[in-house]
Every structure is written in structure tokens, then in C-alpha cells.
Amino acid sequence: MENTSIKVAYINDQPYQIQDGDTILKLVRRNFGHDFVPTLCDAPNLDPFGACRVCSVDVALVQGGPAKAQASCHTPVMANSYIYTDSTRIKRLRKNIIELVLTDHPLDCLTCEVNNNCELQTVAAKVGVRDVRYPEGKNHLDRKKDLSHPYMTSDLSKCINCGRCVRACDEVQGEFVLSMAGRGFDSHIIKSYNDSFFESDCVSCGACAQACPTSAISDVFESKSIAVDKKVRTICTYCGVGCNLEVAVAENKVKSIQAPYDADVNTGHTCLKGRFAFSFYNHPDRLKTPLIKRNGVFEPATWDEAYDHIANELNRIKATHGPDAIGGISSARCTNEENYLMQKFIRAVIGTNNIDSCARVCHSPTALGMQRTFGTGAATNSIIDLKYTDCILVIGANPTDAHPVTGAKLKQFAMKGTAIVIDPRRTEMARYAKHHLQLKPGTNVALLNMMLYYIITEKLEDTSFIESRTEGYQEFKNHILSLDIANLEKVTGVDRMQVKAAAIDYASARNAMSFHGLGVTEHSQGTYTVMLIADLAMITGNIGRRGVGVNPLRGQNNVQGAADMGCQPHQGAGYLDSYDPEINKMYSDFYKVKVPFSKGMKIPEMYDASIAGKLKALWLMGEDNVQTDPNTQHVMKAMSNLDLLVVQELFMTETAKMAHVILPASSFLEKSGTFTNGERRIQKVQAVVPPIPGTKPDGQIMVEIMNKMGYAQAPYDPDTMLEEISKIVPFFAGVKWSELGDNGKQWPVLPDGSDTEILHVESFKRGKGKFQVATWKESEEIVNHGAEFPYILTTNRELEHYNCGAMTRRTGNVEILTDDVLLIHPADAAKHLINDGEMVCVISARGKIDVKAKISDQVKEGVLSSTFHFPDVRMNDLTSSVSDSEAMCPEYKVVAVNIRKSKGKYKNPELAATQNAV
């Protein structure tokens, strides 16, 4: 009698099985489809609200018995109840509600943006309203449109007070900008304190526009209009969150972007970069023809001329200086297939291991640190695990700016649960966190050691996990207990009791998850910090199940993939040791050509080698190293010393200006392939529009040059490329283009195609987890220059811009955030007589720059913070060449500087802005 536990309810007198947590609407939708019962205030990614009442159904306790109208969206299903979805009185009720709503709605459907895609229109048609019986009277049709914002628009005369925008702002983004003001008939949506969109605190994520069932809130791209030819699903090119996008195309141009509700990663949400900042793709600045520099001037060339020129030069250099005089830097912005081809080109065609990628300057310490402790340099868990965790630890990451969609989820969590933030800046996350440990930049290792100390002294370690799953604990424990806490407290500048309280919360949570970003890795002790984060997870047993783990927040869309594909000197595709003879043989067999065995150079080593005259040629795939790599003067010197610099680019970046050959590449909207996001999810990038005339996808360029140089490589297409990759990268074994589906697969993907959400469940990749010891050491930057340059400058990101800004500066985002600013504590500003908005001269041992001051208590005294989104500020003139001792990731986060009020010789910022626009 297993049927006794099955509960049923009757919909229109037919029995249907109830599941736990079912509302009436859920039950009806599961059995009759999404639109069977009309709704207005319900949205797929919002909690039930029950305000429009259009979803009302009749509920009776006995068949045909006396019924009560219930809003189906929020009413739990009662077992054995009789639900009537379309009784005459329910139909009349729905009709009456719509009729009432229409009394205060402009009936200008024919000229409305959402004509034929309007939920009100659809429901009105469905319930059959023909005329409105109510007399004329006061209404809100004269409300003014708000067109103040570069992206967001509102026309509240069309508002039906369903509250979806307000709830999207609260529940999805967590920004609380939109709210309902006034009461009853006068209730209306306001932004912040009844401001315009532009003046409000809106972060332009567009969640409200997507949520709005009419066009009361929309965007300048009219993303809800149906005047489009097709919609293509692809993956966002900005950060490592990997949001799915639904791109609307009209006349072969991108018209607008929305977020699919069925996306596992972003469930109907994106940030302003993903949703709105796409207009760079057909910006007039796009490079549209190959350029060869002759006598210091770029001259347009055909593709064949460019390839010939490159091939000749490379062959010449290879012949005279050997293959190791050539290097390649791949891009984490490009697809897996393109990265694979790039490293294959450098290794198999050129014959050197001088291949690196921009992962070097962001998450290389993560890969190394996690490989040393766990055996795999990738996030152990998935973002969805936030639903199962009790405590989050966010270290050196500013996710609400840098990973906005994951950031919004973390923020939502912090508002309800226990969040610990370790960051020198009081970031938005820190404001919501229970513990904010505001340490001095460069002291992560000291602070984490303090946390570990208290976990051990408070006896909160998970002994059974330590015994069964790890090794090296005793030695580790002895080391931690030998530390001088008083000294560490002084070093970090964080009260030990505060650290202790945070440590206790982390260690005693049932499930605790850690997230880290570049504030961990871009330090001279980056790899050590990552290892300590791994130690924290192991000592508390927070590994191998839902809601736990160590989760790096990947900066670029495909940092994970670039490393997976072998774009680093010491590891080939699939992280196999390129210096191991057996593996070398395997690669040689697979590529059908002898691959090199010699030690390759990492990015900073390449610069040094170039300056020393040992590196003669460098190939850059979509990277602006001059603006983004630290110590600009050093980088420029290295670039200018090369015989051949080839750059594949969208725009004439600072680096492209120094190239000998520029190959115009296509953007993510114009090509297909796969990106792997921060949670190891391989997702399909699908060409939305054909490449801009004159440009080629990076993968195609790689294939063409390989063939040009005598290596037979099949034409670029993601299907066959993935097939090749799946044969050499072990954790891609079961990856097939045709089987990736809408939401991709998380590696390792087994040969049978099944994927993996959580790593290290039974055992670690390396067998037992290894506790690694780390001792705090002052950065050389401070040791060498600290006395002369007493301030510490740390670099960060802003929501509106992405890295060097080559893309976002060519979109409306630049109207929202117009320049880089220097965050400075009020006391420091007072000391130097600097007012808010005045120019400050920042001087380091490498150079000096002028930047606008923003007085803020987000930073502590003695700490400054700024961004490098705008080339005219040249922030990286200041940063140092000090890098992580293990992974060689540059130390962007600790720069010894001094400040003074600018003397007025700086570029006029307004003038600079106009120049920029030209």
C-alpha cells in the first residue's frame, strides 16, 4: 500500500498528485502548463506576492461544494481539496479585476513597446474585456516619462502596481532602490527618494525592466519589443559568473539582451554589463582590416599579406634565435577552443613552451595553491550551493562590483545569514556582513593564520575529517600554535577578538563556504593565502558536500578555461605536466609533431627576457598588457624591444598601438565556442551576428596561421574543436557540443556525458588533502619603498567598467561612471589639504600620476584605493613588478606610494574627457 502517502488534490474534478511545498498555482502549472491560469504579479524568479488576484481560483472542500476564491500563487494546496480554475464566478472576477486595472491604463497598445508581448494585454485578451464599465474620473495617465538614464526608462502611466519591479530590485538584485510610495489609488513606484533613474542609487541591472509585465519600466534598447528577427542564447563575455544571455537580433544587428529565466547560472538576472553594455561590438572604433606597421605607421593590409609577414618574421626569428625566442599570451576572454588552438600553435607549430595567459595576472595562485592542497585548481562547489550553506567567508573579493550576479546572491545571503568579509576596503558586501575584518593590504596570510589559531585553540577542528581525509596536520598545528598572535594582530591591524569571533562563526557553521577574488591572489603571498583558505576548509571539514568548499570568483569569463586548455608554460591542455617525458610523448603523438620539452616563460619572465634581448617575438590574443599589467613603463620597454609584436584585437588599445601587426578579431557576439565559468561550467557561446566585415574570430585566425606555417589544422568550428579537446583533456572526456544544452556541463565530464557539481566528495584529487604551512612575510614593495612611500595603494574594480575598459568605455556605461577616482580617507585628505574632487598626485618608485580624489571612509587611514579602467590616468604606471613568489601573479594590491595635492600640471580632466570621446 505505497499509495497511502501520495497526496492528491482535484483540479476541475480530476485528481493530481501534490508535491511538498506546492502552491495551487504550481500544481496547476505542472499539469496544465504555464499560462493555464492567468497571472500578473507573479514572475518566475520572484516570491509569490498575491496582489493582483488575477490568479484566483475556486477552492472547495467537497466536490462541487461551496467554494472560496483563493489566490492560487501563494495558497498552499490542501490535500483532497477541489480546485476549480475556470468557474463562471472566477472568470467574472478575473474580468472585473482587469477591467478595473484598465480604467487607469493608457490604451495605446498599438504604439507601445511591448505590443503583443505585454502580460496585461495577453491577460485582458484572455479574460475578454470588451469595454470598461466605469465612469471617467481621476487617473494617472499624465505621469511623466523618465528618460534620464543612459539605459533605464520608465513610463509609470503604464504601471499596474503589481510590484514586480520593486520585488526584483529587492529579491533579485538586493538594491532596494525601487519602492512603492503613496497609498491605495495613489500608490506609485519611486526610485530612491523619488529621484529620476539617473539620480537614484540604481545599479542599472535591468532586473526591474525584465520583471515589468508592461512597459512601465523598460530600457532604451526596448528589450521587450517583439520587433526582432530572432533570439539567440549565448554566454556573457564579461566576468567569470558566466551568465546566459538571450540576445535579440534584428536586421543582423544586436537589438537588446535579456536574461533567460531557465538559466542555472543567472535565473533571469544579469548586471548592466551583460544586459546593456554590448554596443561596443559595432562601435566605429572596431578594427576592420589587418594593419602592418611600416616606418612607424600602420598601413592597411590584406589578411594574406599580414599572415605572410608574420610567418616570414616568425620563421626568421625561429631560424636565428630558436623557437624559445618566441612567446604567446593567450586570452581568458576568448573561447576554450581558441585558447586550445593558441597553445597548440605555440607548442606544436612554433615549438616552445613560452605560452601563458592573463590567468597569470589574476588567478594563477588559486590554481597553484589549490593544486598543492587539493590537487585541482578549480572551484570545489557551485554557486547554487549558497542555498545550502550557513556561513560565507568572502576574502579579497568585491563581488557586488566585479561579479554582480553572484555578488547579488552573496549580498542576499549576507542580509539573512552569517557573512564574514576580509577586505581592506569597506565594500558593499562588508556593509552587510556580520564580521568585517578590515585588514591592512598585504596581510592576508597573517589574518588567516590568526583565524586558524583560534579554530585550533577553541577546539573547533573537525577531527574525523582531518584524520580520514588529510595529511600533514600535526606539523601544521604545531606551526600555527607557535605563532605570535600579538604580532599578527599588530601586522593586520585587526582586533584579535574580532578575528576570533569570525573564526568561531566560520568553524561552527554546519556548512561554510568560502569565496575569494583577486584581493587574495594579486599579492606577493597569493599562493600561500590560497593554501591557507584551503587549510581553513580542511580543518573545519568544509569540503566535499553541498554548501561548502573553496570557491574562487573568476575574474574573466574564461579564466578557468584558458588554464584548462593549457595556456601556461608548465602544464599543457588538461593540466598535464609539460616537462614530464611520458606526457611529452603523449602530446607529441596527439599533435603529430614533436612538442618542446624546454622550460617555458611566464608573462613577467617574458617581459624581462624581451628587455634582455632574449625574446624577439610575442603574440597577444586580445590582451591589453600595457594598460592592465603592472609597471607600465617596464611593460612598454619590453614591448618596444621586440622584433615582432602581433596583436589580435577589437580596438586600437594601448598595447595594439605598439604592435607590428594587428589582426582585427571578432567579439563574442560574432563567434561560437565554449566558455568555462568559475564553477567549472562549460557553456555554449553561439554566434549571434556574423563577424563585422573585415574581422575574423580569433580561432579562425589561429587555424589560418597554423596552416600558413605548415601545420594542417582543420577549419575552426566548435563542434570538431571540442571533439579534439575531449580526446586530450581528461576532464573534458564526455564533452560534446551537441550535448551541452542550454545550461552547459560542469567538469569533470565523464565519458558517458555525466558532469560533476561538487569536487572532492569521496577523496581529494591528490588522494589526501595536504595541510600547507605559510608564514606571513612583509611584501618587498613595503620593505624596499615603505619608508619613502608611506601610503599603501590597492587597486580595485567598479561595477560599470570592465578591466581596461576597452569594451565598457565604448558603451553607455561611460555616462554612468566617467572616470577613475582615488579613494582616500578623510584624515589623510585633511593632512594633505585635499578636497573631494580635487586632483591628487600619486607617486610610487616607478612613476607618478594625477587622479581625482574621492574622500571616503571605505578605506582606512594610510590606505588608498583606485581603479584602472581609463587609460588616461595610467594607474599601472605606479604598480610594481613584485609578484607572487610561487605563481608569479603580480602584486597589484600593495603599492607603496606617496601623495600630494596636484600642482596643476596635470591634464585638464574635462579636456581629457573630450579627447577620449574623439
Cell numbers representing residue 828 in the block: 589623510
Phi, psi of 24 (to 5 degrees): -60, -40
CB of 185 to another protein, least distance (A): 4
CB of 36 to another protein, least distance (A): 20
Is 40 or 659 the residue whose CB approaches another protein more closely? 40
Q: Which residues pair with 552 in a beta bridge?
A: 516
Is 69 or 611 the residue whose CB approaches another protein more closely? 69
Phi, psi of 521 (to 5 degrees): -85, -35
Is 49 or 465 the residue whose CB approaches another protein more closely? 49
Is 104 or 724 the residue whose CB approaches another protein more closely? 104
The DSSP code sequence of 857-909 is TTB-TTEEEE----TTT-GGGT--S-B-TTT--B-TT-EEEEEEE--S-SPPH
Amino acid identity at 528: Y
Is 74 or 832 the residue whose CB approaches another protein more closely? 74
Is 178 or 292 the residue whose CB approaches another protein more closely? 178
Is 40 or 562 the residue whose CB approaches another protein more closely? 40
Across the chain, which distance is largest between two alpha carbons, in Å? Answer: 94
Cell numbers representing residue 93 in the block: 472576477
CB of 263 to another protein, least distance (A): 27
Q: Are 73 and 55 in contact (CB under 8 A)?
A: yes
The DSSP code sequence of 632-668 is HHHHHHHHHT-SEEEEEESS--TTGGG-SEEEEBP-G
Helix or strand run (H / E) with residue 82: strand 82-84
Distance, CA of 190 to CA of 188 (rounded, Å): 6
CB of 46 to another protein, least distance (A): 13
Is 68 or 727 the residue whose CB approaches another protein more closely? 68
The DSSP code sequence of 452-507 is HHHHHHTT---HHHHHHHEE-HHHHHHHHHTS-HHHHHHHHT--HHHHHHHHHHHH
Q: Which residues contact 629 (CB under 8 A, 6 or more apart)?
A: 361, 603, 607, 635, 876, 890
Distance, CA of 365 to CA of 526 (rounded, Å): 6
Amino acid identity at 68: K
Q: Are 394 and 427 in contact (CB under 8 A)?
A: no
CB of 178 to another protein, least distance (A): 12
Q: What are the residues binding another protein (CB under 8 A)? A: 40, 48-54, 56, 68-69, 71, 74, 76, 92-93, 96-97, 100-101, 103-104, 133-138, 160-161, 163, 179-180, 182-187
Distance, CA of 909 to CA of 918 (rounded, Å): 14
CB of 76 to another protein, least distance (A): 7
CB of 69 to another protein, least distance (A): 5
Q: Which residues contact 227 (CB under 8 A, 6 or more apart)?
A: 250, 255
CB of 138 to another protein, least distance (A): 8
CB of 133 to another protein, least distance (A): 6
CB of 563 to another protein, least distance (A): 43
CB of 51 to another protein, least distance (A): 5
Q: Which residues pair with 244 in a beta bridge?
A: 235
Is 101 or 341 the residue whose CB approaches another protein more closely? 101
Is 187 or 252 the residue whose CB approaches another protein more closely? 187
Is 96 or 289 the residue whose CB approaches another protein more closely? 96
Q: Is 648 left (phi over 0), alpha (psi -120 to 50) or beta?
A: beta
Is 212 or 445 the residue whose CB approaches another protein more closely? 212
Strand arrangement, sheet containing 291-294: 297-300, 291-294, 661-664, 644-649, 617-621, 326-330, 355-357
CB of 634 to another protein, least distance (A): 54
